[in-house]
Amino acid sequence: MGREVIAAEIRGLQELRRSIGPEFRRAVALLLECSGKAIVCGIGKSGIAARKIAATLSSTGTPAVYLHPGDAAHGDMGMIAKDDVFLAVSKSGKNDELTKLIPFLKAMKVKMIAITATPDSPLAAESDIVLTTLATKEACPMDIVPTTSTTAATVLGDALAVATLQSRNFGRDDFARLHPSGVLGKRLSLTVGELMHKGAELPVIGMDTTLREALFEIANKRLGCTGILDIHGRLAGIITDGDLKRILIRDPAALGAKAAAVMTASPRTARAEALAVDALSQMEMDARGPVTQLFVIDDGGRPVGLIHIHDIVREGLK
């Protein structure tokens, strides 16, 4: 039964996909031209879809609010201004609470978009733009419980939001501005410079430093490695705790060797302004093999910090 319900809803979405045409383009244009906000209205299960559509529009650069039609009839019509767009979600398009609002919206000259499965309904007849979901058959055996219709309405709302987003060139910076908290916001805004270890925490030694001193630097700074600096203070190489163990297994007397002789030259690096999530991808996806830390360098190749994979994981980005 579970598979049959999913198959029925997929068929509904396939019908919806075929229905996308000029009216959809007009709806996107109306949202783009709107100098106010989108008022998304619906009741019952359609009201739940309407709330989701309003939330998605708002998070993608189109200011939107959800309005319950019952509340609208008891004072909340005051939130609607003539520059707004009224987006009504109703399978039947005949809901009394919703259709009673139409004369007031017409008097205010508010543009209306209807999302409905019934193109010959009163709501559709009075709307400027009608987006038909074609979801006339619900997935439940009795064809009663709103299933396919609410899925189609929600997906159509997503399509409107994303098409509008792309049309207004809404980018990563815009998305980050609207999502300052949580993982979404961090993925789009948290930089390497905000997480990196710097100053006295930074493990670095000179080219002539012995492996014994490198061992103490790695152990004391607890970041799993140390950078090797040339005479100009530029990052020349790296020794990790794994390197150290492998060297000492091969030659227990190697503690007196110079760091320059055993380091890995040209280590992988990042810039402070890079996104932390991009640094994570660099650590995990590099063709030379995964690493757990990156030195952060300036324009002159001098290390200004170090970011460890654990720093990124703690922020919930993995």
Q: Is residue 180 part of a domain?
A: no
**Residue 189 has what pLDDT?**
75
Identify whether 82 is part of a domain: yes
pLDDT tens digits for range 131-171: 999 877 888 888 788 899 999 999 999 999 999 988 877 66
Residue 89 counted as domain residue: yes
Within this chain, do residues 258 and 128 fall inside the same structural domain, yes or no?
Answer: no
Rounded to whole angstroms, how far apart are CA atoms 41 and 221?
57
Q: Taking the CA atoms of 241, 243, 249 and 251 in sequence, report the sign of the dihedral they define.
A: negative
- Global pTM reads 0.62
Alpha helices in 34-101, H assignment, sequence order? 45-59, 69-72, 96-99
Q: Which of 119, 140, 170 is the last residue of a domain?
A: 170
Domain extent, residue 83, equals 2-170
The count of structural domains within the chain is 2
Confidence of residue 183 (pLDDT cuts 50, 70, 90): low
Token pair 């439940």 in the structure block, residue: 140
pLDDT tens-digit series, residues 10-56 = 999 999 999 999 999 999 999 999 999 999 999 999 999 999 999 99
- What whole-number distance in Å separates Cα of residue 157 and Cα of residue 162? 9
> Do the domain assignments include residue 186?
no
| C-beta separation of 108 from 79 below 8 A | no
230 found inside a domain: yes
**Is beta strand 235-240 parallel, antiparallel or unpaired with respect to 303-308?**
unpaired
**Is residue 184 in some structural domain?**
no
| CB contact at 8 A, 52 and 66 | no
* 109 to 36, 104, 122, 141, 238: CA distances (angstroms): 13, 9, 17, 42, 68
Is the pLDDT at 217 greater than 80? The verdict is yes
